Chain A
Amino acid sequence: MKKILILGAGTGGTIMANKLRKALDREEWDITIVDKQQTHYYQPGFLFIPFGIYNKQDVIKPKANFIPSGVNIIFNDVDKIVPEENKVLLTGGKVLAYDYLIVATGTRPFPDETPGLKDELWYKEIFDFYTIEGAVALKEFFETWQGGRLVMNIAEMPYKCPVAPLEFVFLADEYFTKIGIRDKVDISYVTPLPGAFTKPRATKMLGALLEEKNIEVIPDFYLESVDNKEKKIKSYDGKEIPFDVLTIVPVNKGDEMIERSGMGDDLNFIPTDKYTLQSEKHENIFVLGDASNIPTSKAGSVAHFASDVLFDNIMCAIKGRRLRAKFDGHANCYIETGFGKGSLIDFNYETEPLPGTYPLPGIGPFGLLQNTKMNHYGKVVFRWMYWHMLLKGKELPIESEMTMAGKKK
């Protein structure tokens, strides 16, 4: 019996378990997936919790519901990968051997990386919204907050879901307007980037929207530490910004297991061929989603598009063929902009987000780099598609590879 081992039952790992089980003979191939947690979080939904739009029940389901029969699930911590021996050691002593390994252990915030961040104000006046605990604590804080300086800060690049902090400030603008205290709330967006976003056209469009909503952008701010006494964030070059409430994207790193295995870069992301998704060092190890260092967004849409390529390449590898599928870095992000509207960006390694329509040229129904009601509905409907289609590896009505059709240069 040959063995495929998948580490991580998040978006990427779950999709792969479904695709591979369908394609591979059960007499010949054993498939096992390992995760430390039993709960699957719909992470794009965390953003809506602080504003009371979703609650905890809307974003959690048991992981086991999405793993097909015929795949072994093990809920256990991974101690480390021993690539030279084709083995994975689990905490507690169990050893799993593999012929092919898929690492899909994602990325998570590490607030401990920044001095003063996880200190006395943590979850009192400083919050992240990338964890269920942070999102729920922030909701409770907002329910009684009377107004003041709200500072949204990004500590380090890269981080997962690059548009989420923008969506957060747009939704905050709407929330405080609706409860009647927007005039008492100063919102600023403090980023290490030179502008609202990395790519020129999206930066221009989103920058204009931020200005329209009276949200100040403070660029080129690289966070060194947080002063809990004076309630200020400080940058390496001595800039200081005061806050009454700080919402933060902490430093993102890959799983600590990657570090224990000696397989990561300085942020525990695994050096990976950006086209084939094969580990640069080990030819029977593949990396899917946020765990890799490929130069595209860390986002569920990327893991989803990349899973088609990874599936093809694993089938090639099994048959001893050259890896022929190439990932283009395709990412597709809905951006909630508040008041029932949304924007949409679609891009890859080579092409920056451009205006146009999606997925059908000239028809849409979604508008790229436009602010429309339909884009917001797209985001709402997506949660259903995620649970019912995407995780189970079913075909979605969109292509994995980015297309120029419908885009205007």
Chain B
Amino acid sequence: MAQKTIAGVNLEVTEDGYLEDSTQWNEEIAKEIAKEEGIELTDKHFEVINFIRENADAGLTIRKVGKSGIVDIKGFYELFPGGPLKIASKIAGIKKPTSCV
């Protein structure tokens, strides 16, 4: 665990930079984490981020985001290139997604 100041707030983050406490999240923090990932957030990004925050407890998959009605899977990749679920979760201030085997 590490301390990090993001958007003027002192936060606890994991080794990979995910927020420990998702209730501390706000939009300014999201913008700053996104900048570190090389992403400029648009309204569309925030629609996806809000969907992710609302469904965090139910377990998320790329497929599920693709069925959200906000973006399809291709669009999700375009908004968050590389690993969309991992990156979007980090920006949304929720835990790193885990696949269980």
A293 to B100, alpha carbons, bound, how many Å? 11
Closest chain A residue to B76, Cβ basis? A236
Given contacts A157-B61, A266-B63, A295-B59, contact A224 B101 (CB under 8 A): no
Closest chain A residue to B98, Cβ basis? A198
Cβ–Cβ contact A236 & B77, under 8 A = yes
A237 to B83, alpha carbons, bound, how many Å? 9
Given contacts A156-B63, A266-B67, contact A198 B74 (CB under 8 A): no
Q: Is B23 an interface residue (CB 8 A)?
A: no
B-contact 0/1 string along A223-261, CB 8 Å cutoff: 010000000000011000000000000000000000000
A296 to B63, alpha carbons, bound, how many Å? 19
Contacts of A331 in B (CB 8 A): 101
A193 to B101, alpha carbons, bound, how many Å? 11
A236 to B83, alpha carbons, bound, how many Å? 11
Closest chain A residue to B86, Cβ basis? A194
Q: Is A162 an interface residue (CB 8 A)?
A: yes
A193 to B83, alpha carbons, bound, how many Å? 10
Cβ–Cβ contact B99 & A158, under 8 A = yes
Cβ–Cβ contact B83 & A220, under 8 A = yes
Q: DSSP class of A's interface residues: helix, strand, loop or mixed?
A: loop
Q: Is A282 an interface residue (CB 8 A)?
A: no
A-contact 0/1 string along B57-83, CB 8 Å cutoff: 001011110010000011011000111
CB distance from B72 to the nearest CB of A (A): 9
Closest chain A residue to B64, Cβ basis? A266
Cβ–Cβ contact B63 & A162, under 8 A = no
Cβ–Cβ contact B77 & A295, under 8 A = no
A193 to B98, alpha carbons, bound, how many Å? 10
A96 to B6, alpha carbons, bound, how many Å? 59
Residue of B61, B82, B98 with most chain A CB atoms under a 10 A cut-off: B61
Closest chain A residue to B78, Cβ basis? A237
Cβ–Cβ contact B81 & A157, under 8 A = no
- Please classify how large the interface on chain A is, using the bins under 10, 10 to 19, 20 to 34, 35 or more: 20 to 34
Residue of B63, B74, B76, B100 with most chain A CB atoms under a 10 A cut-off: B100
For B, the interface residue count at a CB cutoff of 8 angstroms equals 17
Cβ–Cβ contact A198 & B101, under 8 A = yes
Contacts of A297 in B (CB 8 A): 100-101
A250 to B95, alpha carbons, bound, how many Å? 28
Cβ–Cβ contact B101 & A162, under 8 A = yes
Contacts of A127 in B (CB 8 A): none
Residues of chain B in range 84-100 having any CB-CB distance to chain A below 8 Å: 98-100
Q: Is A305 an interface residue (CB 8 A)?
A: no
Cβ–Cβ contact B100 & A295, under 8 A = yes
Contacts of A194 in B (CB 8 A): 83
Contacts of B76 in A (CB 8 A): 236
A220 to B81, alpha carbons, bound, how many Å? 12
Contacts of A157 in B (CB 8 A): 61, 99
B-contact 0/1 string along A282-321, CB 8 Å cutoff: 0000000000010111000000000000000000000000
A237 to B79, alpha carbons, bound, how many Å? 11
CB distance from A347 to the nearest CB of B (A): 8
Extra A-B contacts (9), CB below 8 Å, given A162-B101, A198-B100: A157-B61, A158-B100, A163-B101, A220-B82, A222-B62, A237-B77, A237-B82, A266-B61, A297-B100
* A–B pairs, 30, beta carbons within 8 Å: A156-B63, A157-B61, A158-B99, A158-B100, A158-B101, A162-B101, A193-B99, A197-B101, A198-B98, A198-B99, A198-B100, A198-B101, A199-B101, A220-B83, A222-B73, A224-B73, A224-B74, A236-B62, A236-B73, A236-B74, A236-B76, A237-B81, A266-B61, A266-B63, A266-B64, A266-B67, A267-B63, A295-B59, A295-B100, A297-B101
Interface positions of A (Cβ within 8 A of B) = 156-158, 162-163, 193-194, 197-199, 220, 222, 224, 236-237, 266-267, 293, 295-297, 331
